Chains A and B, each alone.
Chain A
Amino acid sequence: EIVMTQSPATLSVSPGERATLSCRASQSLSSNLAWYQQKPGQAPRLLIYGASTRATGIPARFSGSGSGTEFTLTISSLQSEDFAVYYCQQYNNWPPWTFGQGTKVEIK
């Protein structure tokens, strides 16, 4: 089973600042990695797939990068609606499909 590790657990950022979230895999994923955003009481929303491709309707301030075992989600200028929990998920080696434990982006 591939273990996904996200860091940091919590990220405190001021509105308008850049946020950088990390995700590390225990084995190489090639580019088979997705990112999701989840707000309280809501279902997750797909942001990025293929490590760097934005899903339909996702603003350009969200970008993904990386391959192999190291991946990054960058939010270039945080808006109020971006404060949420973010999860990475691998779909290279399955089953199981595995998620990271999440990074909470909170207002500084």
Chain B
Amino acid sequence: EVQLVESGGGLVKPGGSLKLSCAASGFTFSTYNMNWVRQAPGKGLEWVSSISSSSSYIYYADSVKGRFTISRDNAKNSLYLQMNSLRAEDTAVYYCASPGSYYTYWGQGTLVTVSS
């Protein structure tokens, strides 16, 4: 059974940093592109970032470019999102999702709240 489990969310002040993790199991992680998708409270879904299976290709939404960094460790079956210079508008549930361009598998999400 495919499982994606996010962690690392919490309350952070504006301008602060946070690193999210996503632990994957039940599939060959190293062969799948991985993604982060977020959802602000009461709002719709927003794609945040994607990374190819070998980390050769990385993409970011304009709203996070230059502040967020996606990475992965295939030996640990883990996906990461380093979030710096956080803003109030980054407050959301962050989901890891796979594979590829449409998302068959989703984690349960981790809530990031940016507030003073």
Contact = CB atoms under 8 A, between A and B. Distances in A.
A102 to B, nearest CB: 5
Contacts of B89: none
Given A43-B95, A43-B109, A96-B61, A55 B47 contact: no
Q: Is the interface of B mostly helix, strand, loop or mixed?
A: loop
Given A32-B101, A43-B95, A98 B106 contact: no
B26 interface: no
B59 interface: yes
A95 interface: yes
Residue of B45, B50, B107 contacting most chain A CB atoms (<10 Å): B45
Interface in B2-45: 35, 44-45
Nearest to A89: B102
A97 B104 CA distance: 15
Given A34-B102, A87-B45, 9 more contacts: A43-B95, A43-B107, A44-B45, A94-B101, A96-B47, A96-B61, A97-B47, A99-B45, A100-B44
Interface of A: 32, 34, 36, 38, 43-46, 49, 55-56, 87, 89, 91, 94-102
Interface of B: 35, 44-47, 50, 59-62, 95, 100-104, 106-109
